[in-house]
Structure 1
């Protein structure tokens, strides 16, 4: 086959290659391809001149326009802070009752508080604030250190058994491990406490009289004669149906035997006073919505 041979149908020359009777045409590159190659090259050159584009070791070409994405982010953050300044100032200066009464402010508190809770608290207390094993539910039920927004704010600020110098401190003795009570006494009081939320104080005392006596002698000083807890020392309510570590007999027995010492970090350094107050107002509002 001659190289100069032309295809009679298209008029293009052939390359001289043939496979099974099929001849390869020397088809020219379409002009549209050259057009886009030239266009994209010119665009790249123009972009390089005007915009940050090429790395140069420890720096980069800045471009004539001097565009910087970090400056854009800073401006956006500054604008967002300015937009939020009014309601955040209200939260900073007003008491919780005033905040709760202002529905416009509370709308912003709910939005910001939800984000703060999800970023900092949900991993322990659950995304819906209903709690996990060892971490109390915050949306319902009594809270160990008080359930007023002021008490919630203080707990978030200083933590529990944390490194904060004003930390709330709580320690349940290990009644079995430290030999304070005998095994039979622990079994009796564990059964009594387990049934408090089911049968009430009178019913549990009737079913477990020995356990009620052990409770009165060793537990009531912190948890109260009615087992309803004491926010002054962080002692939980044992007469409701909420359990921090579980309400099974074995779990209650383990709590009495080995004691409990929960920990919550202080958030003062990380969140600051304003964000802590927003979180407290958010949780107070959440608790009111879930009686």
Structure 2
């Protein structure tokens, strides 16, 4: 029999198992074939499919049912992309979705700003056009009023010339130079008639001027009211846009804060 070595107590010592042969060491810094293959697949696909992640790799606290994984247990790698863990994949997916939402919100905000600028430019152009039309209309009214006054003065001058001509013809009658005295009552009636005609003409002129002035005031008042209403609507729109922007900023900050808290909880769980 072969002798077995014994210790001081007399019990037989077990023979230590032979050490396994060491595998040839890889070059330091050189990736494995599986890792290289996984990176190539991820690069070609652009992302990792959800069905490639094992079911037991999704039980991470903070994302699912809150199962606490033992600290010594290592997360398994995906079959299609061995270089990414489930946590890294979900983090990349959440970052991509958040970035898409942020870009969409920025595009919507830019479109809204462009629409507001176009509306404001259109409003300013309309106001300038209305002001130009009003100035032109006022000039035309002044020109018509001046023409009416000149015509009225010409008519009065023509009437005086005709009256003078009639007086000369009457003085050149056969009974000239015998003049008959005019009765005082007839003279008074004639003077009153002339005064009444002049008064009526002046009243008509004043009434016409007042009517034109009132129409101009009413038009100016209507324009001012419409401008005031437009300014109020624009101010309300700006306030609404400001409130919407503040609400969006608060929501974005709250979302970022919650995401940061969730990431910290996940890191604590890991």
What's the TM-score once normalised by structure 1's chain length? 0.21
Larger Rg: 2
Judging by fraction of residues, say which structure has more strand. Answer: 1
Judging by fraction of residues, say which structure has more helix. Answer: 2
